[in-house]
Amino acid sequence: MDARPIGVLDSGLGGLTAVRRLTHIMPSEDIIYFGDTGRVPYGPRSKETILKYAKQDIAFLRTFDIKAIIVACGTVSSAALELISGEYDIPIIGVVRSAAMRAAALTKNKKIGVIATQGTVASGAYTRVIGEYLKDAGTVEQACPLLVPLVENGRFQKGDIVAETVVREYLEPVREKGVDTLILGCTHYPLLYDIIADCMGDTALVDSGAESAEYARTILKMTEKQAPAGRQGRISYYVSDSPENFIKYASQFLGGECVHDAGYVDIEKF
């Protein structure tokens, strides 16, 4: 048993899709969430800058006595995690490995598609990690730089002609490769689930944020670090820009659940 909280970090709001799954499958865990809303998005930035920001985000989370960190940001998980996870004495769980394992288990024809930010695709991390679990996998990675701005502007409903057109453009070449499994490699993308599912027919969709929560549960169980059952976990939110905007838009990512309070962090100090 270990009652210490789990830290969750993201460049902004997308990581809340991991929090949503965490609270569903491990309701007694305390969670400290940090969203770097003052510097979002990470996707288009260079590897050096992503690494620098990720280290600051982790340094802030470690001011709390946490037992593990979920990096619920596809860009950090792919560009920086392998470089930094060895530096810490607690488990650092990323979305890439979590989603890659699930996709490798799900695929029948060994053709897996990945949609993600430019940073994630440029890193080639998904192809590399999927290859660890499935030697002869055919992985197709597609950068989708406009999907985060679309989601952040509330344009993710079916019937939105702009969102549907952009998603179709990005997915068409992936679909044509005959993938039977598609990883949503950015934690913003689950909000576009319906539009993506429409485009992809009966392809299995893997939600990388949700998978990171599932993987965290496995790790905590194996190491006997779960919180005592029966209690109600508490979630604390911190952001690096105005908490008002975060509070306003958080519920879209939490499936309707509201955030009532969030603290401001001057992340450049870390």
State the DSSP string of 139-174: EEEEE-TTHHHHHHTT--STT-HHHHHHHHHHHHHH
Q: Does the protein bind a second copy through residue 242 (CB under 8 A)?
A: yes
The piece of 27-35, 88-96, 129-137, 158-166 that touches a second copy (CB under 8 A) is 158-166
| Size, binding site for a second copy by CB under 8 A | 26
DSSP code at position 37: T
Q: Does the protein bind a second copy through residue 195 (CB under 8 A)?
A: no
The piece of 38-46, 93-101, 125-133, 208-216 that touches a second copy (CB under 8 A) is 38-46
Active site (catalytic) residues:
73, 186
Minimum CB–partner distance for residue 41 and a second copy (Å): 9
Q: Does the protein bind a second copy through residue 155 (CB under 8 A)?
A: yes
Say if residues 94 and 212 touch (Cβ distance below 8 Å).
yes
Angle at 143 between CA 145 and CA 212, to 5 degrees: 95
| Identified binder of a second copy from the candidate list 44, 91, 131, 233, rule CB under 8 A | 44
Q: Does the protein bind a second copy through residue 1 (CB under 8 A)?
A: no
Q: Does the protein bind a second copy through residue 151 (CB under 8 A)?
A: no
Angle at 70 between CA 243 and CA 55, to 5 degrees: 75
**The token pair that represents 269 in the structure block:** 């100090």
Q: Does the protein bind a second copy through residue 49 (CB under 8 A)?
A: yes
Minimum CB–partner distance for residue 121 and a second copy (Å): 14
Q: Does the protein bind a second copy through residue 255 (CB under 8 A)?
A: no
Minimum CB–partner distance for residue 197 and a second copy (Å): 21
Side-chain-side CA neighbours of 161 within 13 Å: the count stands at 0
